[in-house]
Chain A
Amino acid sequence: MDYIKLSVIGSLIGTISIVLVYIYLYFLYRERHIGMLGLSWLLLLSRYVLFDSGVFVWQQSTVKLTIYQVLIFSSVLLFVGGTYFFVNKPFKKYWLYGTAIIAIISTIMNLTDLSLICKLLIPILFGSFVCFWIGITFIHLQLNGIGPLVTGYAYILWGALNSVMPFTIDMVWFAPLGYLMGGILRFIIALGTLMVYLEKTRNDLIAKEEQYRLLAENAVDVIYYFKIAPVKELSYLSPSVLTVTGYSADEYYADPSIILNLIHPDDQSLFKIFINNPVDQNELPLTLRLVRKDNIIIWIEQKCMAIYGKEGKVIAVEGIVRDITVRKNLEEMASMFERMNMIGNMAATVAHEIRNPMTTVRGYLQILQRRKIYKDDRDKFMLMIEEIDRANSIIQEYLSLSRTKLSNLQKCSLNTIIENLFPLIQANATSAKICSRIDLANIPDLLLDKNEICQMLLNLARNGVEAMSLGGNLTIKTFTQENNVVLAVSDQGPGIPQHVLDNLGTPFITTKTTGTGLGIPICYQIAQRHNAKIEIDTGLGGTTFFISFPITS
């Protein structure tokens, strides 16, 4: 065996080692760029095996020469693509156009009588150029370690070697040296690529770990991880536990039973049910009260997930604990306002409605008392009329109290009222499997009674939710139109039936079996007290209530 063959074999070993490295990495990580680079090396290897080693005699055949060049171009293009994906940059299309142009020129040259060297010059120089480009790309890679430098310089040297090969191939002393150096460089590239890949993966992992750590440590909610098997142990607790409960994470690590003492006495039973079987309790969030270190009672909501071991047994639970005291207070306040307003407005509406039949009764009493047959009973009629008048004056007083609400109008933001109330609306909607959202435009402040607007919103939102028994979206929008601010509450229910639409706003008309029929009449009253107008758009696709508030200067 001569030196040249030995050198070729050495070169082949170098290339095979690279291919094997890439195949291994690809099957390990399934990364696209590894697959592409592996394929490019495989094409290069096939070129060496089939053509350079002398299996095929290709130098004199135009077709075989063209196939040889196509292998070069394909592998070069795959090198470029793989490198782009490796450095997380988008592939530039000009590489495709450039390669196509060069391939066409080479093919044309293959048809001429030019020497082999001339015909191979362009593909070889192109390959060298790509090697330089890849080398520079690696050198400039922002990565710790020497992997990128080793790989980069190896590519550059390999490119340089390739570029002088056409001119030195006939030098007897240089050919084996050239093949040997090529093999060594490819081997270095293989090792360097492996180093770069491992360094990059390590860096990515560190960055991700840092990211998740910061996420957990900066989270407002408390994140925990509790091992159940083989030994029960609190493995992780995010630092926010100090803000929420008043005890630091270290105190919990030292004595995990602290949590048992924090649970409000009235909620102990709930918590015991949870800790006895945390996995079965994870469908709905557990809501309970904690007595903080400073004796302040807070509301928390916790949701956990079970972690299963290989045998299918629960080995740990991880979850989130959220302080929902503000939300809970808001819910209670809104609920109280709603009850108070609802009762007040219902009473006012009912009082108003009572006056109509009373008017009729009084009218008849007045007419009847004039009849001769009732002459002796006139004083009784007078008494009845006086009593109705008294009842009427009581209602009048009551209604005038209701009207004094006008003086509660204050300049405020409708959007803020909606935003404050939205968690409550959202909670109601979610429990009915309805998706709710708000879409608030930039609108001027208005003269509003906050409590009444809350009640109107709740009435309309509840109507919307109840209209969507099959699910759908509830949307609350605000926008300006002409000289008005419009509040729009839309549902995707089946629309308001015609007979209800004809009497909409009339008290006691309802489609619901449990409804009072006062929700919309109360909305009308509230709108009227705000100088607002209600408009309705209803159909099979849903219903929208538009409430237009005049913009006040």
Chain B
Amino acid sequence: MSNLLLDCPSQVSDNCMRVETAMNQLEKEEIYHLRYEIYVEEMSKRIQSADYKNKALCDELDTWAVLLYAKIGKKIIATARINVGTIKQYPAKLVQILALDKFIDSHNGRDQVFAYITKLMVVPAYRSSPALYLLIARCYELCYANQVHFAFGACNLHLLRLYEQMGFHRYTNNFVDPGYGLLVPIVLLINDVKYLRMIRSPLLRVARKRTDYGLESVEWLRALFLKTQQTVNSKGVNEDELWLIVSKHFPVPLNQAIDLLRELSEEEAKKFLHSCSIYVQCEFGDVIVNQGDVSYSYNLVLSGRMKSLTICNPVKYYWPGQHFGANGLTGHNMHREDIVADRATEILVLSGIAFPRFSYAYPDIAHKVVKTIVGLNNHNVKI
């Protein structure tokens, strides 16, 4: 599988990258094909609805979605899909998973429009380019233009940091979309410019131009969901706070409890965790790791217990401090097991998407992490 470090083009100019809306069938088919390349061929996702014969990936939401794409020259390098519609337009199952009915305010009722941003992806070579930002920014503008207050989405665990950096919030339970794995529902409060400013979201560049935003929906949502949540937002905590939150799960210092951190000083470990990790709460039965999928993260159990569904006898458990699944931090390996949360569990997901950026910022710390992982792998191979 491709890696950010490997495939990042040395220079990408914003000027030559254009974001456009797919207007004809040809463009749409090109987008469906790109989705197939990334989900099925690169990420090894096993999606039943994929058209394996024509190498295309689309679903019922595409029939009324706006399909955006970023292009350099004639080549599509990124794509996103945004649906803007009332609750009646969305499939009932999706309404339930995203808890959309809880977002209906008394003023607009069921005519209130919601946005649902999905199928956002960038080809490996341009993942460090502004393509992702440009597409989300265009989605933000579309939401604003259509008087959308809430833009929803759902992402895999290793992408949570990325979306939280943009300004999205976690707000409800995770769900499993067959083929796509465990997804976390996220919501962007279009009018919460204050929050975008606070976290220094790239979207602020678009949002700050607005002057007419109302804050009612923001206050209402904060009161309803976000204040009562136990979620640790990666942009809402600093290094020390995150260190404290993670440390409280272990009776010994973290760099003794977790193998991966054993070569790092406390300061280095704090930086590493704050730059690369996402703190995730899982419910009993959440399948975190799927056999055959490519790993994009390095997962650690903090509390509770994980169980392998592949090695069923003897039952294989993963306990706090243990790593589970394949290493997706420094390389992209295939998961060999299905691993499920055996009870309410908290995990730390070290994102392989965040690690390359961290390596540029802190090469010495990154070097120690790489050395530790190589050492752990070699130990396994030599056994």
Contacts and interface: CB of A to CB of B under 8 A. Distances in A.
A359 B312 contact: no
A501 B336 CA distance: 11
Contact of B310 (A500, A531, A536): A536
A434 to B, nearest CB: 22
B6 A533 contact: no
Question: Would you call the interface of chain B mostly helix, strand, loop, or mixed?
Answer: loop
B331 interface: yes
Contacts of B3: 355, 359, 363
A363 B359 contact: yes
Contact of A499 (B1, B312, B333, B383): B383
A534 interface: yes
B320 interface: no
A502 to B, nearest CB: 8
B381 A505 contact: no
A179 B383 CA distance: 98
A539 interface: yes
A25 interface: no
A359 B7 CA distance: 9
B311 A504 contact: yes
Contacts of A388: 6
Contacts of A389: 6
B331 to A, nearest CB: 3
A531 B381 CA distance: 27
Contact of A358 (B6, B44, B383): B6
Interface in B333-375: 333-334, 336-338, 356, 359-360, 363, 366-367, 370, 374
B200 interface: no
Given A527-B292, A535-B310, A535-B312, A403 B383 contact: no
A364 B367 CA distance: 8
A122 interface: no
Interface in A499-526: 499-506, 508-509, 524-525
Given A362-B6, A406-B52, A509-B380, A355 B336 contact: no
Contacts of A527: 291-292
A61 interface: no
Interface string B97-109: 0000000000000
Contacts of B257: none
A367 interface: yes
B383 A360 contact: no
A450 B124 CA distance: 33
A366 interface: yes
Given A528-B334, A538-B313, A400 B46 contact: no
Contacts of B46: 528, 531
B316 interface: yes
Interface in A350-388: 355-356, 358-360, 362-364, 366-367, 388
A501 B316 contact: yes
A358 B52 CA distance: 30
B381 A362 contact: no
A535 B41 CA distance: 24
A506 B336 CA distance: 8
A413 interface: no
A501 B380 contact: no
A407 interface: yes
A538 B356 contact: no
A372 to B, nearest CB: 14
Interface in A210-255: none
Nearest to A496: B311
Given A359-B6, A509-B381, A528-B292, A407 B52 contact: yes
A392 interface: yes
Nearest to A406: B52
Contact of B5 (A366, A406, A499, A535): A366
A524 B334 contact: yes
A373 to B, nearest CB: 14
B331 A360 contact: yes
Interface in A394-430: 396, 400, 403, 406-407
B314 interface: yes
A382 to B, nearest CB: 8
B291 A363 contact: no
A452 B380 CA distance: 28
A527 B291 CA distance: 10
B6 A509 contact: no
11 contacts: A356-B330, A356-B331, A356-B333, A367-B366, A396-B2, A503-B380, A524-B291, A528-B44, A528-B292, A535-B311, A539-B313
- Shortest 4 CB-CB contacts between residues of A and residues of B: A505-B336, A356-B331, A528-B292, A363-B5
Interface of B: 1-3, 5-6, 8, 41, 44, 46, 52-53, 291-292, 309-314, 316, 330-334, 336-338, 356, 359-360, 363, 366-367, 370, 374, 380-381, 383
Interface of A: 355-356, 358-360, 362-364, 366-367, 388-389, 392, 396, 400, 403, 406-407, 499-506, 508-509, 524-525, 527-528, 531, 533-539
